[in-house]
A and B are shown apart, each in its own frame.
Chain A
Amino acid sequence: MLIEIKDMTKDYSLGNNIVVPALKNINLKIDKNEYVAIMGPSGSGKSTLMNILGCLDTPTTGHYYFNDTDISAFDDDELSAMRNREIGFIFQNFNLLPRLNSLQNVELPLVYAGVPPQERRERAIRALERVQLANRMDHKPSELSGGQRQRVAVARALVTNPGILLADEPTGALDSKTGEEMMRLFHELHSEGNTIIVITHEQEIANYANRNIFIKDGIISSDTINPNPTIVG
């Protein structure tokens, strides 16, 4: 099992002893090479779940096993290493560094992984080639279209060969045509063996995934297999 979450809760303290529970007793297993969409209205706790899955945050109680290692008690440095090695983030607003060109943006995770410059460059080029952006390596994000930016972000997520690709509303900032292209890319990446978790509030996007998880008021309200995922032509 790639990911196993056991009896997990997450509370937010607002001060004055007011505690807001964001996640209540979550149990969840995700296997390698699954393509999962996590859905839910805003305020449902899906972002909180994503933050914990992405090692950006830690649960209040419960356990998070990643490759059978309990990482819920990891310290900040260990979580940083986890994010670096195992999580490939793809954000709604791309989150590229504006002053770096595509190549430098894609190289960045490898910089923090301590990969030597030569190898770094080669791997970043390969990742950019994978998303068909080898010809935009020295472009800065401002010189790229939204779709191209998101593909740079995908390349950055792929470059470390992470355990999961974690996409947060990946098409939220794209028009429908570009969004569809992005979904095609996700489909390909999935069929190449990647594990993909997409957080979205759009049913259409969720339909591309093989499994749909709904979150409501901090609990998983449904967890179903999608028998007919949308295939992009």
Chain B
Amino acid sequence: MQFGENITLAVRALADHKMRSFLTMLGIIFGVASVIAMLSIGEGAKREAIAKYQDLGVNNIIVREKSMSDAELEEVRAKFSPGLSLNDADVIKDVVPGVDKVAAQAELSAEVRYTDKTVKSTVIGVTADFLPMMNFKVGKGELITERHYNERLKVCVIGAGVANSLFQSDDPIGQMIKIEDQWLEVVGVLQSKTLFTETVGELAARDMNTDVYIPLTTFLNRFTPENALTSQIQQITVQMDGSGKLLESSKLIEEILKRHHWKQEDYNIVIPFELLKQEEKERQIYNFLLGAIAAISLIVGGIGIMNIMLATVMERTREIGIRRAIGARKADIMSQFVTEAVVISIVGGLIGVLLGVTLSLIVSSFTDVSTYIRLYSIIVAFTFSVIVGISFGWLPAKNAASLKPVDSIRYE
């Protein structure tokens, strides 16, 4: 008996009992659909996380001033810590091996004014390296250059949000904006950056589109700190050369800072890549759990197949006897019933794939949860469903094949 005949036979047998076949399939359909949907949700979360950390730079180590109350600040200053300074940045660059670039930034919350419009903003003094390092793209004009930095020019690059609120449809390039008592010329507008909605490690969530970037030299020269206790700069971003020694380097940086800050920990060190890895590990457990639940429903579907098939074998004892009497071998009966189980699981699997894909598309378009369907998850779910079909079809098929022809042919 050939494979093709078995398929025809199985399809015919299933078509004879459409409702029953469909109900048997349901278990597999939901099992496969939920495996695909779960995996796509997991994958979506993973991709979102990767994108988030890529914004922070996977080769970066970020040293950020700890946010402290005035009392705490006074205490650390009393213990001789000067807070983060350009000196720290220079030392890190000189001492830590494998450092590619070091970008210091100083910050100030201020109102930005253009004609009669004002907008609340964070003014950030940066080096020329900073914006490219953080994956900022210029939308119009130029970024902060070495020349701006070296000549302490009174220029600024504004975030897309600032440009929108102050200039609307006007061209901001070449316009003068006023921050505190300083006039600055707009030389560039940044492309809009996706909202940084989640707090990463010690880095608070914020909207980077409302920032105004100016040369760090200009910042230190023109703006006075909020009070005497404020440290010189607020953040040092260290870009490593990608040799993967982020943890070792961050330990070294910590050693340096400890010494320079007289053991006062008035800073945090964030390694986006390490956080990414950690988050991935946590998510893996979560995904595994989701996958396991989905897999269990697939197995339950398989048990459904077995249940129905066992009943079917009873019901078809006579048919089996007739087939045996006219020459079917045990193997023929066996493969006939296994094929039926496989056809159920293949058809159920295919419907399940469609349902799963639809489900994850619905989830991503109607909720905040982003999903991503990878081909492998479809293959895994489908293969698994076929394996389930074969394994749970095995026992009923074996029962069918081992019926004695003498007895089954007279079975009423």
Contacts and interface: CB of A to CB of B under 8 A. Distances in A.
Interface in B322-378: 322-332
Given A56-B405, A95-B409, A109 B330 contact: no
B2, B327, B405: residue with the most chain A Cβ atoms closer than 10 Å: B327
Nearest to B330: A76
A77 B334 CA distance: 13
Contacts of B1: 111-112, 114
A99 B16 contact: yes
A80 B5 contact: no
Contacts, number: 59
Nearest to B325: A89
Contact of B326 (A51, A57, A114, A156): A156
Given A99-B12, A111-B1, A80 B329 contact: yes
A29 B127 CA distance: 110
B327 A83 contact: yes
A108 B323 contact: yes
Contacts of A95: 318, 321-322, 325, 409
A85 B326 CA distance: 9
B404 to A, nearest CB: 8
Interface in A76-122: 76-77, 80-81, 83-85, 89, 91, 95-97, 99, 108-109, 111-114
A83 B321 CA distance: 12
B327 A112 contact: yes
A80 B328 contact: yes
Given A99-B12, A111-B1, A114-B1, A83 B326 contact: yes
Interface residues of B, number: 22
Contact of B330 (A51, A77, A89, A113): A77
Contact of B329 (A56, A85, A111, A112): A112
Contacts of B171: none
B110 interface: no
Contacts of A91: 409
State the majority secondary structure of interface residues on B: helix
Given A99-B12, A99-B16, A84 B326 contact: yes
Contacts of B405: 56
B12, B325, B332: residue with the most chain A Cβ atoms closer than 10 Å: B325
Interface residues of A, number: 25
Interface in A108-143: 108-109, 111-114
Given A95-B322, A99-B16, A114-B1, A56 B409 contact: yes
B406 interface: yes
B381 to A, nearest CB: 33
B406 A57 contact: yes
Contact of A97 (B319, B329, B330): B319
Interface in B198-230: none
A54 B5 CA distance: 26
A36 to B, nearest CB: 20
Interface of B: 1-2, 5, 12, 16, 318-319, 321-332, 405-406, 409
